[in-house]
Chains A and B, each alone.
With several copies, the nearest count.
Chain A
Amino acid sequence: MKLRVNGNIIETGANTVLELLEELNIKPERVAVEVNMKVLKKTEYRDFTLSEGDSIEIVNFVGGGYNE
Chain B
Amino acid sequence: MNDRLIISGIEFNSRLWVGTGKYRDFEETRKAIEASGTDVVTVAVRRVNILNRESENLLDYINPKKYKILPNTAGCYTVDDALRYARLAREAGISDMIKLEVIADEKTLFPDTEGLVKATKILVKEGFIVFPYTNDDPIVAKKLEDAGAAAVMPLGAPIGSGLGIRNPYNIKIILETVKIPVIVDAGVGTASDATIAMELGCDAVLINTGIAGARDPVAMAEAMKHAVIAGRLAFKAGRIPKKLYATASSPIEGMI
A13 within 8 A of B: no
Q: Restricting to B80-125, which residues have a CB under 8 Å from any CB of A?
A: 84, 87-93, 99, 101, 103, 106, 109
- Most central of A26, A37, A66 by chain B CB within 10 Å: A66
Residues of A near B58 (CB, < 8 A) are 61-63
- Taking a contact as CB atoms under 8 Å apart, the answer to whether B50 and A61 are in contact is no
- Taking a contact as CB atoms under 8 Å apart, the answer to whether A64 and B92 are in contact is no
- Of the candidates A6, A25, A37, A39, the one whose C-beta lies within 8 Å of that of B47 is A6
Query: Complex formed: what's the CA distance from A58 to B46 in Å?
Result: 8
- Taking a contact as CB atoms under 8 Å apart, the answer to whether A24 and B50 are in contact is yes
Give the total of A residues in contact with B, Cβ under 8 Å. 30
- Taking a contact as CB atoms under 8 Å apart, the answer to whether B50 and A62 are in contact is no
B22 within 8 A of A: yes
- Of the candidates B21, B51, B53, B91, the one whose C-beta lies within 8 Å of that of A8 is B51
Q: How large is the interface on B (under 10, 10 to 19, 20 to 34, 35 or more residues)?
A: 35 or more
- Taking a contact as CB atoms under 8 Å apart, the answer to whether A32 and B45 are in contact is yes
- Taking a contact as CB atoms under 8 Å apart, the answer to whether B20 and A65 are in contact is yes
B71 within 8 A of A: yes
- Taking a contact as CB atoms under 8 Å apart, the answer to whether A63 and B159 are in contact is no
B149 within 8 A of A: no
Q: Known contacts A32-B91, A34-B88, A42-B91; decide if A67 and B51 are in contact (CB<8 Å).
A: no
- Nearest A residue (CB) for B85: A59
A1 within 8 A of B: no
Q: Restricting to A44-68, which residues have a CB under 8 Å from any CB of B?
A: 57-68
What are 11 A-B pairs at a CB distance below 8 A? A32-B91, A32-B92, A33-B91, A57-B47, A58-B48, A59-B45, A61-B89, A65-B72, A65-B74, A66-B160, A67-B103
| Chain A to chain B: the 9 pairs with minimum beta-carbon distance, closest first | A64-B44, A63-B20, A32-B92, A32-B91, A64-B21, A61-B43, A65-B19, A32-B88, A68-B21
